[in-house]
Chain A
Amino acid sequence: MSTAVEKPVEELAEATVRFCGDSGDGMQLAGTQFTTTSALVGNDVATFPDFPAEIRAPRGTKAGVSGFQVHFSSQEIYTPGDTVDALVAMNPAAFATNLDDLRDGGILVVNESAFDKKGLDLAGYEGNPIEDVALHQLEQKYKVYKVDMTKMTRDAVKEFGLGVKEADRCRNFFAMGLVFWIYGRPLDPTLRFIETKFGKRPDVANANTAALKAGYNYGETVEAFDTQFLVPKAELAPGTYRSIMGNTALSWGLMTAAKLSEKRLFLGAYPITPASDILHELCKHKNHDIVTFQAEDEIAAMTATIGASFAGAMSVTASSGPGIALKGEAFGLAVIMELPMIVINVQRGGPSTGLPTKTEQSDLYQAMYGRNGECPMPVIAACSPGDCFDVAQEAWRLAVKYMTPVMLMTDGYIANGSEPWKIPDYSTLPKIPITHPGSPTGDDKFQPYTRDEQLARPWALPGTPGLEHRLGGLEKQDGSGNVSYDPMNHQHMIDTRAKKVDDIAEDIPPQEVDGPEEGDLLVVSWGGTYGSCLSATRLARKHGKSVAHAHIRHIHPLPKNLGELLGRYKKVMVPELNSGQLNTILRDKFLVDTIGFNKMQGKPFSVGELVEKISEVTG
Chain B
Amino acid sequence: MPVDLDLPVLKPADFASDQDVRWCPGCGDYSILAQMKKVMPTLGVPREKIVFISGIGCSSRFPYYMNTYGMHTIHGRAPAVATGLKTVQPDLMVWVITGDGDGLSIGGNHLMHCIRRNMDLNIVLFNNRIYGLTKGQYSPTSPLGKRTKSTPMGAIDNPLHPLSIAIGAEATFVARSIDTNIKHLGYTLQRAAEHKGTSFIEVYQNCNVFNDGAWDYAKDRDTKADTTLTLEHGKPLVFGKEGEKGIRLNGLEPEVVELGNGVTTDDLLFHDEKSPEPSLAYLLSRMRFEDGFPEPIGVFRAVDAPRYDQQVNDQIDQATKDQGPGDLNALYSSGETWTVE
Contacts and interface: CB of A to CB of B under 8 A. Distances in A.
Interface of A: 36, 39-40, 42, 189, 192, 233, 236-243, 252, 255-256, 259, 264, 266, 268, 285-291, 293, 295-297, 299-301, 303-313, 315, 329-330, 332-333, 337, 423-427, 445, 462-474, 482-483
Given A286-B319, A300-B109, A308-B84, A471 B72 contact: yes
A313 B338 contact: no
Contact of B72 (A238, A240, A465, A472): A472
A464 B68 CA distance: 11
* Interface SS of A by simple majority: mixed
Given A465-B48, A470-B69, A291 B87 contact: yes
A23 B328 CA distance: 34
B283 to A, nearest CB: 28
Contacts of B312: 291, 293
A300 B113 contact: yes
A240 B88 CA distance: 36
16 contacts: A252-B328, A288-B326, A293-B84, A300-B109, A303-B81, A303-B84, A306-B71, A307-B53, A329-B75, A330-B74, A462-B69, A462-B85, A468-B47, A470-B70, A472-B72, A473-B74
Nearest to B71: A471
A463 B331 contact: no
B68 A426 contact: no
B83 A311 contact: no
Contacts of B75: 329
B320 interface: yes
Contacts of A315: 84, 88
Nearest to A234: B340
Interface in B315-341: 315-316, 318-320, 322-326, 328-329, 331-333, 335-341
A111 B154 CA distance: 69
Given A315-B84, A462-B85, A287 B336 contact: no
Contacts, number: 214
B303 interface: no
B17 interface: yes
B336 A36 contact: yes
What are the 7 A-B residue pairs with the smallest beta carbon separation, nearest first? A307-B84, A472-B72, A288-B326, A304-B84, A308-B84, A307-B85, A300-B80
A255 B328 contact: yes
A13 to B, nearest CB: 18
Contact of B91 (A241, A285, A463): A463
Interface in B88-108: 88-89, 91-92
B49 A189 contact: no
Given A266-B87, A303-B84, A425 B323 contact: no
A520 B68 CA distance: 62
Nearest to B318: A286
Contacts of B46: 465
A308 B71 CA distance: 12
A287 B322 CA distance: 8
A306 B83 CA distance: 10
B147 interface: no
A293 B331 contact: no
B64 A470 contact: yes
Contact of A285 (B53, B109, B112, B331): B331
A287 B319 contact: yes
A264 B84 contact: no
A370 B48 CA distance: 36
A299 B80 contact: yes
A124 to B, nearest CB: 40
B110 interface: yes
B77 interface: yes
